[in-house]
Structure 1
Amino acid sequence: MIQVYSDATPNGHKVHIMLEECGLSYKVHHVDIGAGDQFKPEFLAISPNNKIPAIVDPDGPDGQPMPIFESGAILIYLASKTGRFLGNTDREKFVTLQWLMFQMGSIGPMLGQAHHFRVYAPEKIEYAVNRYTNEARRLYGVMDKRLSSNAYLAGSDYTIADIATFPWIRSWQNQGIDWADFPHAKRWFDEINERPAVKRGVAVLADTRKSLTDEKSKEILFGAMQYAKH
């Protein structure tokens, strides 16, 4: 049984959804990032960057336990383990991986900054709000154009690129997005949102979800504790 160390965040949901889509058995260990659980030595031993999610597969490639951190790496690992959602040919795999990297390098970081400056920042800095809201809209435009001629981000098949991207798009309102501007992305979002495995995946740890806007949580996530030596 795969051990999953996670929280109810977009990056956590990526892995929850993938595990549900693949039908793999797993046990979730809640890492309360608002309380600082990510800095505990036992978690840092698995995820040295103090970020969720992380997994430990007791049945690794060599028969030994395999710990993995970074959500994109986890998705690739699970896709390789199960032979699903990565593509069958080399071309399909590389197309999938480039759109996965689009999520990892652009969608996640930029939409995360949009969330921070629009929702979490202690003061509203107009330049930062405009900068990241505009970047969010640009990225939605990239997806919308791609999805105007493809069912999914990597082409005709649902892949880990979609699984990685979808959870970040669930917070479209916090990103200043008007769906009327991105009809193809909206079609894609609605379709994925109705997948049974996706519904199960986003329900994982949902009862632990909190706003993270209280002063203690913000200090842990964005203050001195984040930058202390652990």
Structure 2
Amino acid sequence: MGRWNSTSVPDFILAGLTDSAETQLVLSVLFLLIYLITVLGNSGMILIIRLDPQLHTPMYFFLTHLSLLDLSYSSVITPKTLQNLLTSTKSISLLGCFTQMFFFILFVSAECFLLSSMAYDRYVAICNPLRYSVIMSTRLCCALLSGCYVMGVFYSTVVEISMSRLHFCKSKVIQHFFCDTSPILALSCSETYEVEIIIFICAGSNIVLSLSTISGSYLSILSTILKISSTAGKKKAFSTCASHLLGVTIILQ
């Protein structure tokens, strides 16, 4: 079987989740419902925040882009998955596969750094409440947000370039329902050790940097909250962090 890479641009076959027609129909309905809820929920969140001037604060500024990122990476995967479940066409071009992988890594990486920025925002709000509006200026918020997207593009570009150098001469069937790094590496007949190290470094540094920032912020927040004498003050401080902590927990799961 011949070796091929991005120069020959063959098609991959996405194996999907099951070969059963009945199960595929059930999954397609389930995925469609989840996707519609995701689209409506995140779009509604963005619209409400944009239309209400009282929500034009740093916390909701970051929340807007968190919703946008959630909507974006869902849209990278779900439409193609639904097409594969509802039709007999399960192929995806090499270019389409690598494009899907690029944007998925970009949006997921950016979301991790955005959660770190939101943790810092909560740290400033609770530990430096009197200077909050000064510290969390529009300029800083935009800089933090830009940094999130830049790091997302950086990670996805590094992984994409390393993956594009691989040659494939095994089966074209990707044992997954979307183009992820691991199932694509499994098809390569090239030496993948260096690529795996690059992916490990990118993923590891993303997780370590994000979790370090989030953990450091919340340790400082917890220390500050424990020093608050009134029960009402403690409850108010905890309530400002609850939604962010819930979001971090869900994503880490």
Is the pair's TM-score, using the shorter chain for normalization, greater than 0.5?
no
Q: Whose strand proportion is higher, 1 or 2?
A: 1
Please indicate the TM-score interval, normalised by the length of the shorter structure. Answer: under 0.3
- Higher CA-based Rg: 2
The normalised TM-score by structure 1 is 0.27
The normalised TM-score by structure 2 is 0.25
